[in-house]
Amino acid sequence: MNGSEDIIVVKDMVKKFGDFTANDHLSFTVKKGEIFGFLGANGAGKTTAIRILCGLSYPTSGEIRIDGLDVYHERDRIKRRIGYMSQKFSLYEDLTIRENIRFYAGIFGMKRKKIVSRTNELLDKLGLLDVQNRLIRDIPLGWKQKLAFSVAVFHEPSIVFLDEPTGGVDPVTRRQFWELISDSSERGITVFVTTHYMDEAEYCDRVSVMVEGRIEALDSPAELKRQYKVNDMNSVFLKLARAR
């Protein structure tokens, strides 16, 4: 964590769909460079909240600032300052590794020269130089995940949103993925991540747990475990999510 600047500020965020309240007065802040875990059971309202924070959907009410920008009036500028990755969709399967990087960098308006030099740097770092012309559909899931994350932070966004980014990979690949996340956080990129793996929640600086549209707990994993008198985040989660 670098400094104490609040890069995400959410006050009383409400999102309703008809009679259904998906987000019920959420309030929290995330600091620059922090790895913030956004946890909750399926249907707790996480995706709804992330879509608002990314500027893809308007809240019903509340005050939300992303890197100082207002989610009602500055959505286009927000989209340029953030990166997004999910397990379900991130890379184009019928483009090569190199083409995917160029495509995303181009969308974010990066200069051609910079794209070329940074692409080579990235491929070298990920050990993918030899396979840069392979199609995404032909590469292993572990490479895809690492590449998808690297593409999401390629334009050096202020914040990167990771919506269930991992899953299905071996324990070493999963850790290499979290090392990439840690590395970005050290460089000042804020990481906002959802996951169903409670052991991954332990990698976060702080986590929030959503239950039925509300944030029921928010603290560091160590503090939450102390508070709920349990040994791991899985037990914290079970206590909270079951205590309806």
In the complex, the smallest distance separating the C-beta of residue 229 from another protein, rounded to whole angstroms, is: 17
Beta bridge partners of 6: 31
Beta bridge partners of 162: 85, 193
Which run of H or E residues covers position 14? strand 6-17
What pairing do the DSSP bridges indicate for beta strands 206-211 and 6-17?
Answer: unpaired
Tokens linked to 59: 């809240």
Query: Is 164 a residue that touches another protein (CB under 8 A)?
Result: yes
Query: Is 41 a residue that touches another protein (CB under 8 A)?
Result: yes
In the complex, the smallest distance separating the C-beta of residue 1 from another protein, rounded to whole angstroms, is: 9
Q: Which of 170, 223, 226, 227 binds another protein (CB under 8 A)?
A: 170
Tokens linked to 186: 């050290």
How far apart (Å, rounded) are the C-alpha atoms in residues 131 and 116?
Answer: 16
Q: Which of 103, 137, 168, 223 binds another protein (CB under 8 A)?
A: 168
In the complex, the smallest distance separating the C-beta of residue 33 from another protein, rounded to whole angstroms, is: 11
Which run of H or E residues covers position 198? helix 198-201
How far apart (Å, rounded) are the C-alpha atoms in residues 93 and 147?
Answer: 12
Closer CB to another protein, residue 9 or residue 241?
241
Closer CB to another protein, residue 64 or residue 169?
169
**Residue 9 · residue 33 · CB < 8 Å:** no
Q: Which of 37, 45, 83, 221 binds another protein (CB under 8 A)?
A: 221
Q: Which of 28, 92, 108, 197 binds another protein (CB under 8 A)?
A: 197
Site of interaction with another protein (CB under 8 A)? 40-43, 127, 140-142, 164, 167-173, 175, 178-179, 182-183, 185-186, 196-199, 202-203, 221-222, 233-234, 237-238, 241-242
